[in-house]
Amino acid sequence: SQKIEQNSEALNIQEGKTATLTCNYTNYSPAYLQWYRQDPGRGPVFLLLIRENEKEKRKERLKVTFDTTLKQSLFHITASQPADSATYLCALFNSGNTPLVFGKGTRLSVIA
Amino acid sequence: GAVVSQHPSWVICKSGTSVKIECRSLDFQATTMFWYRQFPKQSLMLMATSNEGSKATYEQGVEKDKFLINHASLTLSTLTVTSAHPEDSSFYICSAGTSKKTQYFGPGTRLLVL
């Protein structure tokens, strides 16, 4: 059956450390994958998009990797700050820009 | 960046009434918008794809007669929850895509049916 999983429901890390979030999927063939940030009671905010033929993408303190063999994406936040505390969602999309599925999200807490 | 708005941001209604939620792309045109529902601590569940000028495409298990979608223009899509019941209480979010494959989400509408 088709499935998407984010490694943990919650992750606590110390300020200044690198946070690594995992997104695994099975029985999907996405054209690209996106990561979003969602704050409580708000809609998701787009962070990064990575295509199936790309290995890595960076944006400021954020880095995303995409391994279509392992069917896994890793999302890294370097030099984490308390303001980075939020829920992070991964989502798979097909080539027609139609969302396939969203993960449940990982709630990240950065402790000062 | 592209901005998507939703109105209202929250609504409380009595069971059996209908509620309309608007989704607008403020600074870009969206031929396609998406409607999602999100329950507490759950992922976003795609309900339907709203296409400008044509009928919406509903995901399996979503009742099209209960969740009416109208995409009247390139900047406006509406979702009407008809004869709402307490189990319809949820967080409803719309999104619109751009040519760069980026999805921009609205701020969401929290619906509480008493």
Rounded to whole angstroms, how far apart are CA atoms B108 and B113?
16
- Name the strand (E) or helix (H) holding A66: strand A62-67
* pLDDT value, residue B100: 60
Rounded to whole angstroms, how far apart are CA atoms A11 and B104?
26
- CB contact under 8 Å between A46 and B106, yes or no, is no
Name the residue facing A46 among B6, B41, B102 (closest C-beta).
B102
For the residues B85-90, what does the mean pLDDT come to?
Answer: 96
Q: What are phi and psi of A31, to 5 degrees?
A: -80, -30
Q: Identify the weakest region by mean pLDDT among A40-54, A63-77, B92-106.
A: B92-106
Cα angle A88, A94, A97; round to 5: 80
CB proximity under 8 Å: B 54-93 to A: 91, 93
CB proximity under 8 Å: A 53-72 to B: none
- CB contact under 8 Å between A93 and B101, yes or no, is yes
Rounded to whole angstroms, how far apart are CA atoms B54 and B4?
21
Contacts of B109 in chain A (CB under 8 A): none
- Which of the two residues, A99 and B26, has the higher pLDDT score? B26
Distance between B7 CA and the closest CA of chain A, angstroms: 13
- Six token digits for residue B66: 């209960």
- Six token digits for residue B9: 């941001």
Mean pLDDT across chain B? 92
Is residue B33 within 8 A of residue B12, CB to CB? The reply is no
Q: Which amino acid is at A3?
A: K
Q: Which amino acid is at A24?
A: N
For the residues A16-27, what does the mean pLDDT come to?
Answer: 96
CB proximity under 8 Å: A 5-24 to B: 9
Q: Identify the weakest region by mean pLDDT among A88-97, B55-64, B68-77, B85-94.
A: A88-97
Name the residue facing B104 among A4, A46, A101 (closest C-beta).
A46
Rg over CA atoms, chain A: 13
**Helices of type H across A5-99:** none
* pLDDT value, residue A45: 93
What is the pLDDT confidence band of residue A6, given thresholds at 50, 70 and 90?
Answer: very high
Residue B63: CB partners within 8 Å, gap ≥ 6? none
Total Cβ atoms within 10 A of residue B12: 11
* pLDDT value, residue B99: 63
Name the residue facing A46 among B43, B103, B106 (closest C-beta).
B103
The closest of B60, B91, B43 to A5, measured between CA atoms, is B43
Contacts of A98 in chain B (CB under 8 A): 34, 49
Q: What are phi and psi of B64, to 5 degrees?
A: -70, -25
